[in-house]
Chain A
Amino acid sequence: MTYFLQNVVNALQWGSFYALIALGYSMVYSILMLFNFAHGDIFMVGAYIGFGVATLLVALSAGGAVVLPGWLILVLTLLISMFLTALLGMLVERVGYRPLRDAPRASAAITGLMIGIILETGNLWLVGARRVSFPSLIPTATYDLGGVILTNKKIMIVLVALAFMLALHFFVRRSKWGMAMRAMAVDYVVVPLMGVSINAVARLTFAIGSALAAVAGILFSIAYPVLDPYMGIVFGWKAFVAAILGGRGSIMGAALAGFLLGFIEIFVAMAFPSTLRDLIAYSIIMIILVFRPHGFFGEPYSTKLRL
Chain B
Amino acid sequence: MRAISPITPPAGKRPLRCRIFDPFRETPLLAWLFGAGLAVLLEHLLGESFAALVGLAKVPVLFGLMIILSKPLLFPGALLYVAVIYLLPLVTVALLLARPANTAAAALLRLGPAVSVLFHLALFYAVLHFWAEISGYREMTVKFTLIAVLLTLSLNLINGYMGEFSCSHPGFMALGAYGASIFSLSLFVNDPLFGKALLPAFLGPWLFPLGLVGGGLLAALGALLIAIPSFKTRGDYLAIISLAFLFIVKSLLENLPFVGGPRGMGSQPDYASLPVVFAWTAMGVWIMNNYVRSTLGRSLNAIRDDEAAAEAMSVNTRHTKMTAFMFAAFWAGVAGGLFAHMMRFINPATFGVQRLAEMLAMVYFGGLNSVYGSIVGAVSLNLLGEVLRPLELFKWIFIPLLLILVMIFRPTGLLAFRDFDAVRLVQPRSRDRQGGAP
Contacts and interface: CB of A to CB of B under 8 A. Distances in A.
Interface in B256-284: 262
Contacts of A117: 357, 396, 399-400
Interface string A74-107: 0000000000000000000001100110011111
Contact of A106 (B159, B248, B408): B159
Interface in A233-284: 233-234, 237, 240-241, 244-245, 248, 273, 275-279, 282-283
Contact of B243 (A107, A241, A273, A279): A241
Interface string A100-124: 1001111111110111011011101
B248 A294 contact: no
Interface string B225-245: 100010011101101110111
Given A241-B243, A279-B252, A293 B233 contact: yes
A118 B229 contact: no
Interface residues on B, range: 35 or more
Given A114-B403, A233-B353, A285-B244, A295 B237 contact: yes
B130 interface: no
A237 B243 contact: yes
Interface string A111-154: 10111011011101100000000000000000000000000000
A289 B244 contact: yes
B232 A290 contact: yes
Nearest to A290: B229
A282 B311 contact: no
Nearest to B247: A282
A100 B410 CA distance: 10
A244 B411 contact: no
B307 interface: yes
A305 interface: yes
A110 B407 contact: yes
B251 A107 contact: no
Contact of B237 (A277, A278, A294): A294
Most chain A CB within a 10 A radius of its CB, from B159, B251, B394: B251
A272 to B, nearest CB: 10
Contact of A244 (B240, B307, B408): B240
Contacts of A120: 396
Nearest to B245: A286
A219 B356 CA distance: 29
Interface string B394-412: 1011011101100110011
Given A117-B357, A118-B397, A289-B229, A107 B412 contact: yes
Interface of A is mostly: helix
Contacts, number: 140
Contacts of A111: 403-404, 407-408
B15 to A, nearest CB: 37
A103 B411 contact: yes
A28 to B, nearest CB: 12
A145 B399 CA distance: 53
A176 interface: no
A305 B396 CA distance: 45
A110 B237 contact: no
Nearest to B252: A279
B396 A278 contact: no
A303 B307 contact: yes
Most chain B CB within a 10 A radius of its CB, from A103, A113, A124, A240: A113
A304 interface: yes
B254 A110 contact: no
Contacts of A290: 229, 232, 241
Given A104-B412, A286-B248, A293-B232, A113 B360 contact: yes
A279 B248 contact: yes
Contacts of A115: 400, 404
B312 interface: yes
Nearest to B412: A104
A275 B255 contact: yes
Given A303-B234, A305-B311, A275 B254 contact: yes
Given A114-B361, A305-B308, A289 B397 contact: no
Given A103-B411, A282-B244, A303-B307, A244 B236 contact: yes
Contacts of B81: none
A107 B311 contact: no
Contact of A304 (B165, B308, B401): B308
Contacts of B183: none
Contact of B353 (A114, A237, A273): A237
Most chain A CB within a 10 A radius of its CB, from B248, B354, B400: B400
12 contacts: A29-B236, A100-B408, A111-B404, A114-B361, A114-B403, A118-B400, A125-B397, A240-B240, A275-B254, A275-B255, A290-B229, A294-B237
Interface of A: 29, 35, 95-96, 99-100, 103-111, 113-115, 117-118, 120-122, 124-125, 233-234, 237, 240-241, 244-245, 248, 273, 275-279, 282-283, 285-286, 289-290, 293-295, 303-305
